[in-house]
Amino acid sequence: MTTERSIEELYRDDPERADALVFGRRTGVSRRGFLGGTGLVAMTAAVGGAIPFAAQMPGGLIPAAMAQTGPAPFEFPGKVAGLTLLGDRPLVAETPEHLLDDETTPIEKFFIRNNGIPPEPPADPDAWTLTVEGFVNEPLTLTLGELKARFAPVTYRTVLECGGNGRSFFNPPARGNQWTNGGAGCAEWTGVRLADVLKAAGVRPEAIYTAHYGADTHLSGDPARLPLSRGVRLEKAMEEHSLIVWGMNGQALPDIHGGPLRLVIPGWPASASHKWVDRIVLRDVEHDGPGMTGTSYRVAIRPMIPGAEPEAGNFRILESMPLRSIISAPANGTTLPGGTRRLALRGAAWNGDTGVAAVHVSVDFGATWQAATLAEPRNRYDWRRWTAEVDLPSDGYFEVWSRATDTDGVMQPHIAGNWNPQGYGANPMHRVAVLVG
């Protein structure tokens, strides 16, 4: 019996043999030599055109035109066609990069990530209650209506990003939903500062951590089991941009995105931004709810051998999210008329608690780079939209690469590093294929 394998699996296991199988390259022949002979003919046929910068093409690189499989069909009320379904129990869907081309991500394009079974929407959203307890002077139970009346509302445009975003780029594969770059979006969130509510309850000196609870239920249906309960260090909870929100892009927070009430803890994994939040507990120890222990939302302290078994004590909680940039236009697989010599690019870049300082783009497999023009962020934790124009020397197959640099001088890597069993933190440069002529 013959076992079929994807091109990603072939290249992951043995890049040299993959070249031989896919393009007819002889084993023992370098990629440079291969692309100077008959193998180049096979590769240009596969990608649909001549490769002007073939000499700069790294060994073992899967052409971007061949590296992505088609999305699973997905339809959901209030969402545009084109989101990619990653799982249906719980519901998980990501937004392809070309749909993240708006300055503010529309609700209909925003990714979906559930951990359990969502609650039934309340008949009266303003009657929804939130309890704040634990190491506080005066426990509070407030309705959404009381939150709106008692505390000053604020609106920030901030990125919300799944902790597993980029997971599919790890080699060998890590456990979990195989996100590419689309487990993120940048919306305008309206609510009140979490710090204001915690201060109203009176934070006791012993408090060092929050614990978040929501009204969603475990997939098993067992009411005694929690689908997820994460928390953050008190310092993060008290930041001015950490919010309890009821609005998204000027509308009532949709049910699928945690309405009527959720947390938004920007810059950190979106799992800490609990949906359908109804209870926040201040603790005097690091929270240990579901999603806080073992390898769940945790990354290796000391580098692991990819695929190795986790070593107890070698993991820390994933907090600030890694640097990422995407090309939102053109889309991967775009075909342009013959004779096109100038290509306009658009995209976005973001990271966790630091800022984005620069984005560079390349059309020659990273041999040379050109700086993009960055728009100013509206506020901290907003993404930075970028634009650029690049010259194309001829017709043929090109790959556009984007690479961001943060304010500490850290750049995106060429490939995903720091492998971990649950696949957090993969943030390689983004690549899209463009065919001219």
Domain boundaries, the chain: 7-48, 84-317, 324-436
> Phi, psi at residue 395, to the nearest 5°?
-70, 165
Q: Are 430 and 330 in contact (CB under 8 A)?
A: no
Q: What is the pLDDT of residue 65?
A: 84
pLDDT tens digits, the chain, 437 residues: what are they? 444 555 666 666 666 666 666 666 555 555 655 556 666 777 888 888 899 998 898 877 888 888 765 666 788 999 999 999 999 999 999 999 999 999 999 999 999 999 999 999 999 999 999 999 999 999 999 999 999 999 999 999 999 999 999 999 999 999 999 999 999 999 999 999 999 999 999 999 999 999 999 999 999 999 999 999 999 999 999 999 999 999 999 999 999 999 999 999 999 999 999 999 999 999 999 999 999 999 999 999 999 999 999 999 999 999 999 999 999 999 999 999 999 999 999 999 999 999 999 999 999 999 999 999 999 999 999 999 999 999 999 999 999 999 999 999 999 999 999 999 999 999 999 999 999 99
Write down the residue that tokens 């991967």 correspond to. 332
Residues with Cβ within 8 Å of 111's Cβ and at least 6 positions away in sequence, in order, are 83, 93, 94, 95, 162, 182, 183, 184, 185
- What is the per-residue pLDDT across 1-59, written as a single tens digit (0 to 9) for each? 444 555 666 666 666 666 666 666 555 555 655 556 666 777 888 888 899 998 898 87
Query: In terms of Cα–Cα distance, which of 61, 35, 108 is closest to 415?
Result: 61
The one-letter code for the residue type at 218 is H
Angle between helices 15-23 and 38-47 (to 10 degrees): 80
Distance CA 60, CA 189 (A): 43
Q: Are 279 and 229 in contact (CB under 8 A)?
A: no
167: buried, middle or exposed (CB in 10 Å: 19+, 13-18, 0-12)?
buried
DSSP state of 217: B
Q: Which CATH architecture has domain 84-317?
A: Alpha-Beta Complex (3.90)
Write down the residue that tokens 């939903």 correspond to. 177
- What is the per-residue pLDDT across 336-375, written as a single tens digit (0 to 9) for each? 999 999 999 999 999 999 999 999 999 999 999 999 999 9
Distance CA 144, CA 131 (A): 11
Q: Which CATH architecture has domain 324-436?
A: Sandwich (2.60)
Number of helices and strands in the chain (H, E)? 7, 23
Is the whole model's pTM more than 0.75, yes or no?
A: yes
Helix (H, G, I), strand (E, B) or coil at 188: strand
CA dihedral 410, 412, 414, 417 (to 10 degrees): 80
Q: What is the pLDDT of residue 3?
A: 47
Q: What is the pLDDT of residue 23?
A: 62
